[in-house]
Amino acid sequence: MGQMLLQRSRRIWLTVLALAVAGCGNVNDQAGAGGPSGTSSPLIEAASTKQNAARFLTQATFGPTDASVLQVQALGYRGWLDQQMATPSSSHLAYVDNRIAQIRLTNPTAALDATQFYESFWLYAATSPAQLRERMKLALSEIFVISLADPVVEVRGAASYYDMLGNNAFGNYRTLLEQVSLHPMMGVYLTHMGNQKEDPATGRSPDENYSREVMQLMSIGVEQLNPDGTVRRDANGAAIPSYTSADITEMAKVFTGFSWYHPTPSNNTFLGRNRDPESAVRSMIPYANYHSTNSKTFLGKTIPAGSTDARAELNEALDVLFNHPNTGPFLARRLIQRLVTSNPSPAYVGRVAAVFNNNGQGVRGDLAAVTRAILLDREASTIGTDPGSGKVREPMIRLTNWMRAFEATSVSGRYLVGSTRANVSLGQAPLTAPSVFNFFRPGYVPPNTRLGAANLTAPEFQIVDEVSVAGYANTMLGAIGNGIGSGTDVRATYAREVALAHDANALADRMNAILLYGQMSGRLRQRIIDSVNSVAIPGGTATAAQINTARLNRARIAIYLTMISPEYLVQR
Amino acid sequence: MTGPIHRRRLLSIGGGLTVLGAAAPFAAQLAAAGSAAGQSAPDYRALVCIFMFGGNDSHNTVLATDADSYDRYYTTRNTGSSPIALLPPGTAPIAIGATSSYTGRVATAGSPEHIGGILPIVPRTPQPVPAGTNATGRTFGLHPSLAPLKTLFDAGRLSVVANVGTLVRPITKAQYQARNTAYPANLFSHNDQQSTWQAGASEGARVGWGGRLGDMITGMNGTNSLFTAISTAGNAVFLSGQNVIQYQMTTNAQPAVVINGTGSTLFGSTVAPSRVRDTIQDQTSDSLFAADYGTVANRSMAAATNLNIQFGSAAATAVPAPTPFLNPVTGLSETNGLASQLATVARMIAVSSSMGLKRQVFFVSIGGWDNHDVQNTVQAVNLGRVAHAMAYFDTVMGNIGGLNMRQNVTAFTASDFSRTFTTNGDGTDHAWGGHHFVMGGSVKGGDIYGQYPTLGVDRGTFRNPDMAGNALVPTTSVDQYAATMGRWLGASEGGLDAIFPNLRNFPARDLGFMS
- Is B260 in Cβ contact with A473 (below 8 Å)? yes
Closest CA to B360 of B198, B437, B246, B479: B246
pLDDT of res. B40: 58
- Is B235 in Cβ contact with A462 (below 8 Å)? yes
Contact residues, chain A, for B469 at CB < 8 Å: 245, 249
pLDDT of res. B60: 98
Q: What are phi and psi of B45, to 5 degrees?
A: -140, 140
Establish if B2 belongs to a structural domain. no
Percent of chain B whose predicted confidence (pLDDT) is above 70: 92
Claim to verify: residue B470 and residue B413 sit in the same structural domain: yes
Distance CA A310, CA B105 (A): 31
Spatial contact of A89 and A130, defined as CB atoms under 8 Å apart? yes
Distance CA B109, CA B95 (A): 9
* A445 at B interface, C-beta within 8 A: yes
CATH of the domain at B443: 3.40.720
B77–chain A nearest CA distance, Å = 8
Claim to verify: residue B286 and residue B434 sit in the same structural domain: no
Say if strands B359-366 and B229-231 run parallel, antiparallel, or are unpaired.
parallel
- Is B459 in Cβ contact with A469 (below 8 Å)? no
User: In the Cβ-directed half-sphere of A407, how many Cα atoms lie within 13 Å?
Assistant: 9
Claim to verify: residue B96 and residue B239 sit in the same structural domain: yes
Residue type, B404: N
Cβ count within 10 A of residue B490: 14
Distance CA B390, CA A201 (A): 40
Residue of A nearest to B238 (CA): A447
Contact residues, chain A, for B292 at CB < 8 Å: 446, 449-451, 458, 461
pLDDT of res. A216: 97
- Is B79 in Cβ contact with A450 (below 8 Å)? no
Residue of B nearest to A391 (CA): B289
Interface list for A 188-217 with B (CB within 8 A): 190-191, 194-196, 199, 202-209, 212, 216
A561–chain B nearest CA distance, Å = 6
Which residues make beta-bridge pairs with B158?
B439
Which residues make beta-bridge pairs with A296?
A303
Distance CA B197, CA B191 (A): 10
Residue type, B207: V
- Is A191 in Cβ contact with B427 (below 8 Å)? yes
**Residue B21 burial (CB < 10 Å; 0-12/13-18/19+)?**
exposed
Mean of pLDDT over chain B: 92
- How many A-B residue pairs are in contact by the CB < 8 A criterion? 268
Q: Tell me the residue range of the domain where B281 lies.
A: 254-311
Residue of B nearest to A531 (CA): B272
pLDDT of res. A383: 74
Claim to verify: residue B71 and residue B215 sit in the same structural domain: yes
- Is B192 in Cβ contact with A470 (below 8 Å)? no
* A295 at B interface, C-beta within 8 A: no
Claim to verify: residue B185 and residue B275 sit in the same structural domain: no
- Is B296 in Cβ contact with A465 (below 8 Å)? yes
Interface list for A 390-429 with B (CB within 8 A): 390-392, 423-424
**Mutate which of A213, A467, A480, A516 to disrupt the B interface (most B C-beta within 10 Å)?**
A467
Question: Which residues are within 8 A (CB) of B324 and not within 5 positions of it... i.e. 6 or more apart?
Answer: B333, B334, B335, B336
Residue type, B96: I
A249, A447, A566: residue with CB nearest B282: A566
- Is B469 in Cβ contact with A553 (below 8 Å)? no
A199-203 LR contacts (CB < 8 Å, sep 24+): A199/B79, A199/B80, A202/B75, A202/B76, A202/B79, A202/B80, A202/B422, A203/B76, A203/B79, A203/B422, A203/B457, A203/B459
- Is A199 in Cβ contact with B79 (below 8 Å)? yes
Tell me how many domains chain B contains. Answer: 2
Spatial contact of A451 and A459, defined as CB atoms under 8 Å apart? no
Question: Residue B315, Cα to own-chain centre: how many angstroms?
Answer: 25
Q: What are phi and psi of B460, to 5 degrees?
A: 60, -125
pLDDT of res. B42: 84
Q: Would you list the DSSP string of A167-178?
A: HHTTSBHHHHHH
Q: Would you list the DSSP string of B351-371?
A: TTTTTT--EEEEEEEE-----
Q: Which of B265, B280, B311 is the last residue of a domain?
A: B311
Claim to verify: residue B300 and residue B342 sit in the same structural domain: no
Contact residues, chain A, for B420 at CB < 8 Å: 205
Q: Which residue has the higher pLDDT, B25 or A490?
A: A490
B115–chain A nearest CA distance, Å = 23
Residue B12 reports pLDDT greater than 70: no
User: In the Cβ-directed half-sphere of B485, how many Cα atoms lie within 13 Å?
Assistant: 31
pLDDT of res. A43: 59
Claim to verify: residue B239 and residue B262 sit in the same structural domain: no
Residue B39 reports pLDDT greater than 80: no
Distance CA B177, CA B182 (A): 11
Establish if B317 belongs to a structural domain. no
Distance CA B434, CA B420 (A): 10
Instruction: Per-residue pLDDT tens, chain A, 572 aa: give them.
Output: 333 333 333 333 333 333 333 333 333 333 333 333 334 445 566 667 999 999 999 999 999 999 999 999 999 999 999 999 999 999 999 999 999 999 999 999 999 999 999 999 999 999 999 999 999 999 999 999 999 999 999 999 999 999 999 999 999 999 999 999 999 999 999 999 999 999 988 788 999 999 999 999 999 999 999 999 999 999 999 999 999 999 999 999 999 999 999 999 999 999 999 999 999 999 999 999 999 999 999 999 999 999 999 999 999 999 999 999 999 999 999 999 999 999 999 999 999 999 999 999 999 999 999 999 999 999 998 876 789 999 999 999 999 999 999 999 999 999 999 999 999 999 999 999 999 999 999 999 999 999 999 999 999 999 999 999 999 999 999 999 999 999 999 999 999 999 999 999 999 999 999 999 999 999 999 999 999 999 999 998 999 999 999 999 999 999 999 999 999 999 99
Query: Where are the extended beta strands (E) located within B304-384?
Result: 325-326, 333-334, 359-366
Spatial contact of B89 and B65, defined as CB atoms under 8 Å apart? yes
Establish if B80 belongs to a structural domain. yes
pLDDT of res. A381: 86
- Is A450 in Cβ contact with B292 (below 8 Å)? yes
Claim to verify: residue B302 and residue B378 sit in the same structural domain: no
Residue type, B160: V
Residue B512 reports pLDDT greater than 90: yes
Question: Which residues are within 8 A (CB) of A500 and not within 5 positions of it... i.e. 6 or more apart?
Answer: A506, A507, A510, A555
Residue of A nearest to B255 (CA): A467
**Mutate which of B168, B188, B245, B288 to disrupt the A interface (most A C-beta within 10 Å)?**
B288
User: In the Cβ-directed half-sphere of A284, how many Cα atoms lie within 13 Å?
Assistant: 30
Q: What is the mean pLDDT of residues B282-296?
A: 97
pLDDT of res. B41: 62
* pLDDT tens digits for range B44-76: 999 999 999 999 999 999 999 999 999 999 999
pLDDT of res. B135: 86
Residue B211 reports pLDDT greater than 70: yes
Residue of A nearest to B230 (CA): A466
- Is B272 in Cβ contact with A203 (below 8 Å)? no
Distance CA A444, CA A334 (A): 12
Residue B35 reports pLDDT greater than 90: no
Claim to verify: residue B285 and residue B353 sit in the same structural domain: no
Establish if B319 belongs to a structural domain. no
Closest CA to B55 of B346, B427, B335, B429: B429
Q: Where are the domains of chain A?
A: 2-86+325-385, 194-218+243-323, 391-571
User: For B35, which DSSP code?
Assistant: S
Spatial contact of A391 and A571, defined as CB atoms under 8 Å apart? yes
**Residue A441 burial (CB < 10 Å; 0-12/13-18/19+)?**
middle
Claim to verify: residue B247 and residue B272 sit in the same structural domain: no
Reported pTM: 0.91
Q: Which residue has the higher pLDDT, B19 or A448?
A: A448
B81, B282, B429: residue with CB nearest A565: B282
**CA distances to A6, A462, B81 from A267, in Å:** 55, 44, 12
- Is B430 in Cβ contact with A423 (below 8 Å)? no
Contact residues, chain B, for A387 at CB < 8 Å: 286-288
Claim to verify: residue B60 and residue B160 sit in the same structural domain: yes
A216, A445, A554: residue with CB nearest B189: A216
Contact residues, chain A, for B179 at CB < 8 Å: none
- Is A567 in Cβ contact with B287 (below 8 Å)? yes
Residue of A nearest to B194 (CA): A437
* pLDDT tens digits for range B97-136: 999 999 999 999 999 999 999 999 999 999 999 999 988 8
Contact residues, chain A, for B81 at CB < 8 Å: 194, 196, 271
Say if strands B45-52 and A296-298 run parallel, antiparallel, or are unpaired.
unpaired
A441, A470, A535: residue with CB nearest B258: A470
Residue of A nearest to B186 (CA): A222
- Is B276 in Cβ contact with A467 (below 8 Å)? no
Claim to verify: residue B364 and residue B307 sit in the same structural domain: no
Closest CA to A250 of A175, A316, A324, A173: A316
Residue B506: pLDDT band by 50, 70, 90 thresholds?
Answer: very high
Establish if B158 belongs to a structural domain. yes
Contact residues, chain A, for B185 at CB < 8 Å: 238-239, 241
pLDDT of res. B391: 98
Residue B18 reports pLDDT greater than 70: no
Q: What are phi and psi of B474, to 5 degrees?
A: -60, 140
Spatial contact of A308 and A291, defined as CB atoms under 8 Å apart? yes
Establish if B17 belongs to a structural domain. no
Interface list for A 225-244 with B (CB within 8 A): 238-239, 241
Establish if B159 belongs to a structural domain. yes
Closest CA to A553 of A537, A529, A530: A537
- Is A572 in Cβ contact with B289 (below 8 Å)? yes
